[in-house]
A and B are shown apart, each in its own frame.
Chain A
Amino acid sequence: MNEFLKITNSKLAAIQDSGRYGFEHHGISVNGAVDQFAYLAGNLLAGNEFSQPVIEVTAFDFSMKSSVDIPVCITGAPADVSIDDKPVKMWENAILPADKVLSIKKIRQGLKVYIAVGGELDVPSIYGSSSLDVVANFGKKLFSGEIIRLKNINSIDEFTKNPPSVKGIPQYGSPWNIRICDGPESEVFTENFDYFYNSSYKVSTDSNHIGIRLKGPRLSGYSPTEVLSKGVSIGAVEVIPTGQLIILHRGRSVTAGYPVIGVVASVDLGLIGQARPNDDVHFTRISVDEATELYKNQFEQFSYLQNQL
């Protein structure tokens, strides 16, 4: 049918999903929603059976309308959310009535807000994903005036009768305490561990979903400073030759050649991606087993949404 969303105000927003998997050995980066917990929670709360593409709004105010009544759920960093000028709670399902304005303002304590709809956004997919890849030029940034077609809208009755719920909503905001596991070259840095884990860093302004650059104490006295290019983790904390740290995020190149002091635990990957420029970050070292447990506790509730992975 002819059902659609109309973007009425957008400065920095895009369609995102779980990411582009299965093509990393062809050089294609994963990308996808930076905060996967918020992304998946939005899908769950909007009543979807599979994780669907969502709208990821970054930093700036955003508004849209729907041509039809539709279930929605807003998740991610705290913001002032309203429908038809009435405040709406985040992390809870809501109905966006036809022709009323959904507005997101004053995004704070983080950068990314997610709008999941109960139903499907009819958006193109390339290499198995609709996510934005700004380097390969895949996916779609959203601008004011844009129309997104809708498909298979979920029943609103069902949705209001049995509202789903989500557990383990993280605490957003600076200072960000990020848990780290050892990585492939952690041995190179054993002498630097105390220094690294006891220091406080700030997020640099030239950070994005590809890499988060940190300002703060530099590491020195380790070797080697470059290694042969190898496949690298999303969340890898690279130490570049100046001793500066870069956390690789979901848009990272699949291979890299700098030594890695540690890897952000999957449970905290979305949080470090949410950190705003000049926010404070410190790190805690945990084991792979602990990280796995933490991730399971928070993400197992979404397993049914991800069965296609």
Chain B
Amino acid sequence: MTKSISKTMELVDCGDSGILVEFSKDFSKTAWQKAHYVANLINESNVKGILGAIPTYCSVYIHYNCIQINNKQIKDFVKRSIQEFDSTRCFHKSPQRFRIPVVFGGEYGEDLENVGLQLSMSAEQVIDLFCSKHYQIVCIGSPVGVPLLDAPPFNKKIKRLETPRTKVPNGSIGLGGTQANIYTLDSPGGWQLIGKTPVQLINLEDSPPAPYKAGDYLEFFPIKEGEYEKYKGQSVDELKVETE
């Protein structure tokens, strides 16, 4: 058991201040769980010299100060902790679920038509298909609390923009490759925008700034342009679905 785990785990130095722990080259649920398991252990343990652990799809990047701790100590820590890997301890026992209202297309999602062309579908079909899935949050990205979601149920990768926008409005829903995300601030970005939510995802007075975590679920439902104002300013917390 332990052997097979270490066989599939690669620990690579990234210069003198980082180690990348890769559990797989391609996305797999187990690799993803292991990455988050290790990251949680590190981020909760406050080891002197470890500056942070960033988990993503199937790897975790560990950022450290080489004066306070060395790469061998960190690698040993990771090797030891992965032996205790427990897939039930990676995420919330009962994941949170949030339902996100979205105005699709038009000025809210300028690339909806383009995405339809890429998928040979009508805009309505793109919306229906996109809203048919309950997305799991794979990890959190920059600039602040951006939920990176697992793949929408399309049969093709979505091309990124050739020239990224310098400012994508807060709340925009973006598609890129086999991923989807929500922009949490006005920020630059190169993903195709299909819609926009009036809901405020992050709160910079809170720590952490987002109420959702990796492993939680987001669902999207279409609203009419006229309903945008009704939801505007609501926090994502208010749209949490109580699970039985």
Contacts and interface: CB of A to CB of B under 8 A. Distances in A.
Interface of A: 21-30, 126-127, 133, 135-138, 180-184, 228-236, 252-255, 260, 262-266, 288, 291-292, 295-296, 299-300, 303, 306, 309
Interface residues on B, range: 35 or more
Given A26-B209, A135-B143, A291-B15, 14 more contacts: A24-B54, A25-B43, A26-B210, A133-B143, A181-B14, A228-B59, A230-B22, A231-B53, A231-B54, A231-B63, A253-B143, A255-B139, A263-B18, A295-B67
Given A23-B208, A232-B61, A136 B18 contact: no
Nearest to B147: A27
A288 B57 CA distance: 26
Contacts of B43: 22, 25
A228 B58 contact: yes
Contacts of A26: 140, 144-145, 208-210
B16 A27 contact: no
Given A25-B52, A26-B210, A229-B57, A136 B15 contact: no
28 contacts: A23-B52, A24-B53, A25-B52, A25-B54, A25-B140, A28-B142, A135-B142, A136-B144, A181-B16, A228-B25, A229-B57, A229-B141, A230-B59, A231-B20, A231-B54, A231-B55, A231-B60, A233-B14, A233-B18, A255-B141, A260-B14, A263-B15, A263-B16, A263-B18, A266-B66, A291-B15, A295-B67, A309-B68
Given A228-B26, A230-B56, A231-B56, A296 B66 contact: yes
B65 interface: yes
A253 B141 contact: yes
Interface centre among B26, B27, B185, B209 (most CB of A within 10 A): B209
Contacts of B144: 26-28, 136
A233 B17 CA distance: 8
Contacts of A184: 12, 14, 20, 22
Interface centre among B16, B39, B141 (most CB of A within 10 A): B16
Contacts of A232: 14, 61
Given A26-B208, A236-B14, A21 B52 contact: yes
Contact of A230 (B61, B187, B209): B61
Contact of A27 (B17, B142, B188): B142
Contacts of B71: 288
Given A264-B15, A288-B71, A25 B143 contact: no
6 closest A-B pairs (Cβ-Cβ)? A231-B61, A263-B15, A231-B54, A253-B142, A291-B16, A24-B52
B54 A255 contact: yes
A136 B209 CA distance: 11
Interface in B161-193: 179, 185, 187-188
Given A25-B39, A233-B18, A303 B142 contact: no
Interface in B1-47: 12-18, 20, 22, 25-27, 39, 43
A27 B141 contact: yes
Contact of B27 (A133, A183, A228): A228
B129 to A, nearest CB: 23
B207 A127 contact: yes
Contacts of B218: none
A263 B14 contact: yes
A58 B39 CA distance: 36
Given A25-B39, A25-B55, A231-B54, A309 B16 contact: no
Interface in B145-169: 145-146, 148
B143 A136 contact: yes
Interface string B122-150: 00000000000000000111111110100
A187 to B, nearest CB: 9
Nearest to A290: B16
Given A29-B143, A184-B12, A233-B14, A228 B20 contact: no
B70 A254 contact: no
B51 interface: yes
Nearest to A181: B15
A28 B148 contact: no
A299 B68 CA distance: 11
Given A21-B52, A25-B43, A27-B141, A292 B16 contact: yes
Nearest to A303: B67
A254 B54 contact: yes
Contacts of A260: 14
B67 A299 contact: yes
A269 to B, nearest CB: 9
Contacts of B145: 26-27
